Structures are given as structure tokens and as C-alpha cells.
């Protein structure tokens, strides 16, 4: 009997914090792949310090994706292709919002391919309602008491208000 191999993808990011745009990409990936591993970068290289710890970010994503039976969340501390290999992934799935995302992601895809040509990079275009949405923008809005309730899950909005909100 010929058994079909499990299709596994990783969705990496800092998720500081996770937004509804991130969750849309994760959900869409979960409809295509048998298993989706959301990889939370413990300490991102491009950002000096995260607002939320890796454990907090994992908890937010786990709660928001609990209804998706084929999604799991893990922190990772290695090269992305090593994390993908360790999880048996054949694909890296990321979202694209704008041409500026494409330029950076194209470079990363080429580097990842050089490291492991067996792991493919897939990009999912952000839905129009999320095309402007970034974790950085959400944090800036929350800093000045802006309403982020429709941009992030409710527990994230509450945590942002607690951590960043001004009196």
C-alpha cells in the first residue's frame, strides 16, 4: 500500500504580538497542509527586544488557534531551515503585505534554499483588510490608547493595554 507522506509547513515569525493578519495566514495554511507548526522566534535578530516573552507569544497563538486541530506552536532558537527540518516540514509559509515585504522575503527564500533546497518557500498574499497590519503598528496604536480590538485577539488587546496603555 502506498501511504501518502504528511504535508508539514512551518509559519515562522516573531509574533510580537500576533495579529489577526498572522492568524489569517496560519488558518489558510492549516487548510492546505496536514500539520502547521507556528515557529515563534525566541529573540528576533532584526528587533532589539520583544514586548512579550516567547512563552507569552506562544500562549496567545495557542489560544487563538485552539480550534485548528492541525496547528501547533513552538519557540525556536536556530536557523529557520533547521527548525523546519526538525519538524519534518517541506514548506515555509509566510504572508506578504506589500512590495517591501517581497524584497526582504525573496532574499530570505534564496538564502533558505541555499541552506536546504528540499524545503520550499510559499507566500500567501494578505487579505485586503490585513494588508496594512503589522505588529509594530499595533504596538504604536496601543501605546497611545488606540483601539486595537479588531486587529488582534482579545487577550492580546488586553495584554497590550496593560503593558503599553497610558493613563
Q: Are 74 and 58 in contact (CB under 8 A)?
A: yes
Asked if 48 is an active-site residue, the reply is yes
CA distances from 110 to 81, 92, 115, 116, 146 (A): 12, 12, 9, 10, 38
Catalytic residue among 30, 35, 94, 135, which?
135
Asked if 135 is an active-site residue, the reply is yes
Nearest-angstrom CA–CA distance, 104 and 123: 12
Grid cell at residue 159: 495584554
Catalytic residue among 31, 46, 48, 67, which?
48
Side by side, the strands of the sheet bearing 71-76 are 71-76, 35-41, 8-13, 91-96, 120-125
Catalytic residue among 22, 35, 57, 94, which?
22
Catalytic residue among 7, 28, 85, 97, which?
97
Residues tagged active-site: 22, 48, 97, 135
Amino acid at each position: 500500500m502506498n501511504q501518502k507522506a504528511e504535508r508539514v509547513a512551518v509559519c515562522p515569525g516573531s509574533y510580537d504580538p500576533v495579529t489577526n493578519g498572522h492568524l489569517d495566514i496560519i488558518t489558510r495554511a492549516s487548510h492546505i497542509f496536514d500539520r502547521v507548526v507556528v515557529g515563534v522566534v525566541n529573540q528576533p535578530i532584526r528587533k532589539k527586544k520583544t514586548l512579550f516573552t516567547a512563552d507569552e507569544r506562544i500562549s496567545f497563538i495557542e489560544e487563538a488557534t485552539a480550534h485548528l486541530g492541525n496547528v501547533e506552536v513552538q519557540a525556536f532558537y536556530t536557523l529557520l531551515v533547521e527548525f523546519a527540518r526538525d519538524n519534518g516540514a517541506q514548506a515555509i509559509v509566510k504572508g506578504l503585505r506589500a512590495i517591501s515585504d517581497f524584497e526582504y522575503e525573496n532574499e530570505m527564500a534564496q538564502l533558505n534554499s541555499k541552506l536546504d533546497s528540499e524545503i520550499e518557500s510559499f507566500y500567501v498574499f494578505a487579505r485586503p483588510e490585513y494588508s496594512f497590519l503589522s505588529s509594530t503598528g499595533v504596538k504604536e496604536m496601543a501605546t497611545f490608547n488606540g483601539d486595537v480590538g479588531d486587529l488582534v485577539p482579545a487577550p492580546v488587546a488586553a495584554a497590550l493595554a496593560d503593558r503599553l496603555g497610558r493613563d
